[in-house]
Structure formats: structure tokens, C-alpha cells
């Protein structure tokens, strides 16, 4: 049986910072690399965990950006390496000022890239792993036992559902990543 290539996926990047002015700069860099966004969420307070406070301080906000053009799922490692470089460029010494979590969305799932290995993550290349963070079933995204709480909350899953709806139209129209 011949192996089938997967459909192109919808690139989604989560941006986290305590300095709201950095959103504009970071988004400009992402747009230069990946093209124009089709969905950009409003900044939302991020108070679910103190994991990032030591590095970033308090008052963290998150924005989600979805891009018009699609990407091939195999590109996820390269995309994560790029966003890691951007994070480093924005850093002040050893402390990041912006956190970027790239991932992709398909009709079936939402996948995030990470440089941290855990039993449920699949190694891609160059120190990058992929994690199925949410699955789509029964007309909505469902969190898994390892899903970070902020990715499983109603605001996020509703936003991803809207991105999924637009992604389905992209597939129908045959829009591809250049």
C-alpha cells in the first residue's frame, strides 16, 4: 500500500509576554516569515500557572495568531527552531521576554512543538518534539491528560474551533504554503 502525504496544516503560534508592546514586533517577524495572519486574537491575561513568572515576571498576556497560508506538518521542527531563535533575539540576557509556541491545526487535531521530551511526545529532529495537544471530536476540541490547562480552556478551544472552520475552507479552495 502506498503511503499518503498528509494535508497541509494551519500554522498557529501562541505568543506570551509581560510586555504588550512586544506583540507588535514579534508579529511583524512572524508575518515576514510565514505571511499574513488570518486570525489574531486579542491579548488575554495568562494567570493559569506561575511556571513562567520567574523568567518573565507577572502580568503575562497571550495572543494566538493563525496564518492565511498553510504549512506541511513535516515543517514543524524547522518552524520551532525559527521561533526559538526569535525568542533568543528578544531576550534580555538569559531571560526571554517573549515565549512562542508554534503548532499546527488539522481537521482532527491541534499539535504543538516543544524542545522538552516527555513520554507522550514524538521526536521530530534537531531536539524538537511534537505533541498532539487537543483532538477534535463531537464538534469540539478535547483536551488530553497532558494538555496544559490554558490550551484546554473554553476561550482557547473556541478560538481553535474558529481557526479550524477557516482551515476547512482553505482546504476546499486548495490554498497552499508557498
Whether 176 maps to a domain, the answer reads no
Nearest residue to 163 via CA among 14, 6, 4, 5: 14
**Site of grid cell 526569535:** 86
For the chain, 178 residues long, give each residue's pLDDT as a single digit of tens.
898 889 999 999 999 999 999 999 999 999 999 999 999 999 988 766 677 777 887 889 999 999 998 999 999 999 999 999 999 999 998 899 999 999 999 999 999 999 999 999 999 999 999 999 999 999 999 999 999 998 999 999 999 999 999 999 998 887 655 4
Whether 104 maps to a domain, the answer reads yes
Whether 2 maps to a domain, the answer reads no
Whether 1 maps to a domain, the answer reads no
Distance CA 86, CA 109 (A): 26
Q: What is the pLDDT of residue 111?
A: 98
Q: What is the pLDDT of residue 178?
A: 45
Q: What is the pLDDT of residue 48?
A: 64
Whether 125 maps to a domain, the answer reads yes
**Cell numbers at 64, concatenated:** 494566538
Nearest residue to 40 via CA among 13, 66, 12: 66
Whether 123 maps to a domain, the answer reads yes
Whether 18 maps to a domain, the answer reads yes
Whether 178 maps to a domain, the answer reads no
Number of domains in the chain: 1
Domain limits at 146? 9-171
Amino acid at each position: 500500500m502506498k503511503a499518503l502525504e498528509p494535508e497541509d496544516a494551519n500554522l498557529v503560534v501562541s505568543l506570551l509576554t509581560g510586555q504588550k508592546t512586544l506583540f507588535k514586533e514579534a508579529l511583524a517577524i512572524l508575518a515576514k516569515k510565514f505571511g499574513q495572519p488570518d486570525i489574531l486574537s486579542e491579548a488575554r491575561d495568562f494567570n493559569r500557572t506561575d511556571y513562567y513568572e520567574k523568567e518573565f515576571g507577572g502580568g503575562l498576556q497571550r495572543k494566538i495568531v493563525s496564518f492565511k497560508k498553510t504549512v506541511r506538518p513535516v515543517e514543524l521542527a524547522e518552524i520551532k527552531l525559527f521561533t526559538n531563535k526569535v525568542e533568543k533575539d528578544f531576550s534580555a540576557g538569559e531571560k526571554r521576554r517573549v515565549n512562542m509556541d508554534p503548532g499546527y491545526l488539522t481537521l482532527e487535531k491541534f499539535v504543538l512543538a516543544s524542545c522538552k521530551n516527555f513520554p507522550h511526545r514524538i521526536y521530530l529532529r534537531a531536539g524538537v518534539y511534537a505533541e498532539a495537544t487537543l483532538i477534535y471530536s463531537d464538534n469540539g476540541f478535547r483536551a488530553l491528560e497532558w494538555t496544559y490547562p490554558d490550551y484546554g480552556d473554553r476561550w482557547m478551544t473556541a478560538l481553535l474551533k474558529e481557526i479550524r472552520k477557516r482551515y476547512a475552507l482553505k482546504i476546499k479552495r486548495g490554498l497552499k504554503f508557498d
